Amino acid sequence: MRLNDLKPRPGSTHRRKRLGQGESSGHGKTSGRGGKGQTARSGSSIRIGFEGGQMPLIRRIPKRGFNNKQFALRYIPVNLDALNSFEDGATVDEAALRSRGLAKGRETHLKILGDGELTRKLTVKAHAFSATAKAKIEKLGGACQLIETKPSATPQSGEPAKPAKPVKPAKAAKAAKAAKPVETAKPAEAVKPAEPAKPAQPAEKPAQ
């Protein structure tokens, strides 16, 4: 067999689609691009939810209810194969991982995952371990130290809590006045009883 005898397998090659060759070609007129408009132009791409410039449906419908997504506990994932960069017998915590660029993100919780093979005996401190990662670490004689996660009422989005707004002096003065105890009214003085009127003296008789 020679190179000039090589041919593609039957059915593996197709004729090029010839566009604009008349109505009877099956690809005439619009050449497979459908009707007129934005989507008929070359390079057209419309993002999901775009409605031609009008207010999208997702923004028109009312939003009701409440969800706990903003309070979700998010972890920084770290796989086992990344821990091989530490020396045998070392203690691995969040500070050590961040110093080597193995833990990136604003979240403050770590989770060790079991992807890859670990070749070092390490003491790993994290907030969560997968079952596979824990088994592989302990198989080599290492230790998994779980850091307790305290429940928090603030969102775990990595953003610092906003400081409380300072109270304006005028409002503070009003609040202070409202906090003062109300003075009780003084009891009224007792009214002295009036003295009885003296009897009138008889008038003198005129002299005769």
- Residue 49 near residue 58, CB atoms below 8 Å: yes
d(CA 178, CA 119): 69
Domains of the chain, CATH where assigned = 70-146 (3.100.10.10)
Q: State both tokens at 128.
A: 């969560």
- Residue 82 near residue 102, CB atoms below 8 Å: yes
Q: State both tokens at 183.
A: 């003075």
Region of 6 please: left (phi>0), alpha (psi -120 to 50) or beta: beta
- Residue 154 near residue 161, CB atoms below 8 Å: yes
pTM recorded for the entire structure: 0.47
- Residue 124 near residue 143, CB atoms below 8 Å: yes
In this predicted model, what pLDDT tens digit does every residue of 63-106 receive, in sequence order?
999 888 888 899 999 999 999 999 999 999 999 999 999 999 88
Residue 183 pLDDT greater than 60, yes or no = no
